[in-house]
Amino acid sequence: AQSVTQPDIHITVSEGASLELRCNYSYGATPYLFWYVQSPGQGLQLLLKYFSGDTLVQGIKGFEAEFKRSQSSFNLRKPSVHWSDAAEYFCAVVGGNKLVFGAGTILRVKS
């Protein structure tokens, strides 16, 4: 069965510092991968997605993610974090026509 692992439950970075959120997936074929962001008490907003082609994907709000098949990873990155980026981030993969989510990573930004 398809699964997604986000190894880091919490991450704290200083404002202006770079960010990398890890995501590993388990899927037999070429995966469709997503990153979503959730602010407290809100629904999910799509940051970016990977279906095929260029393995470096650009998203909204300055985020990017790189698909590495050899590592079964789809890590999310941002060069310079802003205080407004504090939220919970979910990695997801399509499996069996359903979206399977990781446990999420809570990002805290300190000034």
Partner 1 sequence: GAVVSQHPSWVICKSGTSVKIECRSLDFQATTMFWYRQFPKQSLMLMATSNEGSKATYEQGVEKDKFLINHASLTLSTLTVTSAHPEDSSFYICSAQPPGGAITGELFFGEGSRLTVL
Q: Is 28 in the site for partner 1 (CB under 8 A)?
A: no
Stretch that binds partner 1, among 20-28, 33-41, 65-73, 76-84 (CB under 8 A): 33-41
Q: Which two tokens stand for residue 106?
A: 């809570």
Q: Identify the CA nearest to 91 among candidates 30, 40, 23, 20.
A: 23
Range 49-78, binding partner 1 (CB under 8 A): 49, 51
Q: Is 27 in the site for partner 1 (CB under 8 A)?
A: no
CA distances, 103 to each of 44, 59, 71 (Å): 14, 21, 19
Amino acid at 43: G
Range 88-107, binding partner 1 (CB under 8 A): 90, 94, 97-99, 101-104
